[in-house]
Structure 1
Amino acid sequence: MTQVSEANETTGRAGTVEMTDTAVLPAAVVDGPAPATLEARAVSAWFGSHQVLSQVSLTMPAGEVTALIGPSGCGKSTFLRTLNRMHELIPSAQFGGEVLFEGEDIYDPSWRLTDARRRIGMVFQKPNPFPAMSIYDNVVAGLKLTGTKVNRREKDVLVEESLTRAGLWKEVRDRLRQPGGALSGGQQQRLCIARALAVRPRVLLMDEPCSALDPTSTRRVEETIQDLAGQVTIVIVTHNMQQAARVSQQCAFFLAEQGTPGGIVEHGATEAVFNSPQDQRTADYVAGRFG
């Protein structure tokens, strides 16, 4: 058994990922796996004795973009991290409920951590490429963490495909051996998207991927999300209501009131949530009256 150190982007602490077997990509890597449906059932989460989520249930349909919206502190990012077991990296964290990937609970003992991380990728709020590592090596870095073996030809194809899907290939194809840290902030975020896509996930989680970017870079990342819709299931946390309306087909409004744990007030088709919400709190939030 091999252990690979993995940085925790939330706490800065290091954890370990156990790899008990090795996945092998097929020779033809262009045709990726189909997007998967993800379903949370009665998800609750704690940090120590502090409960931050209570009984959250949500279906995130295959091949669609689901936006998680709501004011700061309502548990959106915590919920997102439970969807691929990133929540476990925090020592005091506890979890209750189920997260079903195509009907299988990823918290079942039969699921290894690498199974969840390989099938359910994640892109974080702040671009986090390995700065001294080349653009090329950044894209394939996730293959080592998931124990995926590819030969050089397959790797070359995978790098081009992943960068193309992330909307970055034309900008960097002539400088693949230059450091990823030399890219602009928006390019670095798309490089992180390419790195996540390289391990062939069926679901991609995004935690405020544009919050640190300028408007032009934000537009490019949004275009990338729209291009990926249909190819992979996307769940995105955003505080930008216009962004949620632009990129998502489904939307869930989270809220934590008067010290209570966060939960979903309303969810459904994005157009309905924004234009004809059923709860007055949803109407007030999307209209900018609070949050």
Structure 2
Amino acid sequence: MTADTQVMEAAEQPGPAGGTLDAIGVSAWFGQRKVLEKVDIVMRAGEVTALIGPSGCGKSTFLRILNRMHELVPAATLAGSVLLDGEDIYGTELRLTEVRRRIGMVFQKPNPFPAMSIADNVTAGLKLNGLRSADKETLIEECLRRASLWDEVRNRLPAPAGGLSGGQQQRLCIARSLAVRPDVLLMDEPCSALDPTSTRRVEETIHELKEQVTIIIVTHNMQQAQRVSQRCAFFLAEENAPGRVVEQGPTEQVFHEPEDPRTADYVNGRFG
């Protein structure tokens, strides 16, 4: 095998198989109001970690801390550390653009560029991150396939993304995130605005992606948390207190053999 052949084969290998995120003693404030209290969670590569809990307990805030979006909020501060494969994402060695590339985000409401073509939406992140692709057509197909969207749009790639259904737009946003080869994909209630069929397809996509990209998902759907995740963390904010993790562990344990009665009450629909 020649050196050139080795380089070509290496370039054809799939993207990173995911990274491990480790939150250590993470606390957060909006001004003087403390919203998170000393959160410790290990989110492992090759797994889906679900963050569950009632509204207002800090789940989405924690998710945004994981890729440095929390600091975009005026007067927002935090304490603790977030490590990506051992590197502090708030340290001086990782630039903000590199953190956002390696830790992507899919939001609750699909946010493609509606006037931009489906194909151009997929590659939009490359320009934003100062990246290039030698073969954009191959990259577009690969990412749309990984997002379980290729068969539905392969003959419509020049069409505006605004013409897609809500579920298709959400999967297009996933494809766009995958184009920059992230290690981690954060999902903030990605199915809350979708119909059951679209929800099932997004969940199938999550299942297929977890071996390639570490996924952390916020969801209020307890059935969804059980279907898609391998590990689960239950957040709760008592009255006039910041949110904290009450319990975490394998999803089956959290749902069927929880150690804290508050966890049992929540997952069984007795509050929240």
Smaller-chain TM-score bracket = over 0.9
Aligned position for 1:202: 183
Asked whether the equivalents of residues 121 and 203 of structure 1 are also in contact (C-alpha less than 8 Å), the reply is yes
Alignment of 1:129-278 (within 5 A): 129-151=112-134, 154-278=135-259
Whether the aligned pair in 2 keeps the contact of 1:38 and 1:101 (CA below 8 Å) is yes
- Consecutive unaligned residues in structure 2, runs of 5 or more: 1-8
Contact 1:29-1:158 at 8 Å conserved across structures: no
- On the 8 A contact 1:34/1:232 being kept in 2, the answer is yes
C-alpha separation in 2, matches of 1:285 and 1:107: 33
TM-score (norm 2): 0.95
Amino acid aligned to 1:43: V
Q: Is 2:37 the counterpart of 1:39?
A: no
RMSD: 1.1
The number of residues matched between the two structures is 264
**Is 1:282 matched up with 2:259?**
no
**Tell me, which stretches of 5 or more residues in structure 1 are unaligned?**
1-25
1:30/1:161 contact within 8 Å kept: no
Mapping for residues 3-42 of structure 1, pairs under 5 Å: 28-42=11-25
1-side partners of 2:195 and 2:202: how far apart? 11
Deviations 1:22-72 (A, max 9, x none): xxxx98355111211100000111111111111101000111000000000
User: Which of 21, 32, 36 is the matching residue for 1:49?
Assistant: 32
CA offsets per residue over residues 169-195 of structure 1, 9 Å max, x none? 000010100001110000000000000
**Structure 1 counterpart SS, 2:253:** helix
Q: Percent identity among equivalent residues? A: 72
Give the SS at the match of 1:148: coil
3-state SS, counterpart of residue 138 of structure 2:
helix
| CA deviation string 1:5-37 (max 9, x = no partner) | xxxxxxxxxxxxxxxxxxxxx983551112111
Letter in 2 for 1:188: Q
Secondary structure at 2:227 match in 1: helix
Q: Which of 58, 62, 80 lines up with 2:63 in the alignment?
A: 80
Quote the Cα distance in structure 1 between the aligned partners of 2:153 and 2:223.
29
- Which amino acid in 2 is paired with 1:262? G
CA contact (8 A) 1:186 1:221 kept: yes
Offset from partner CA, 1:264-285 (integer Å, 9 cap, x none): 0000000000000000000000
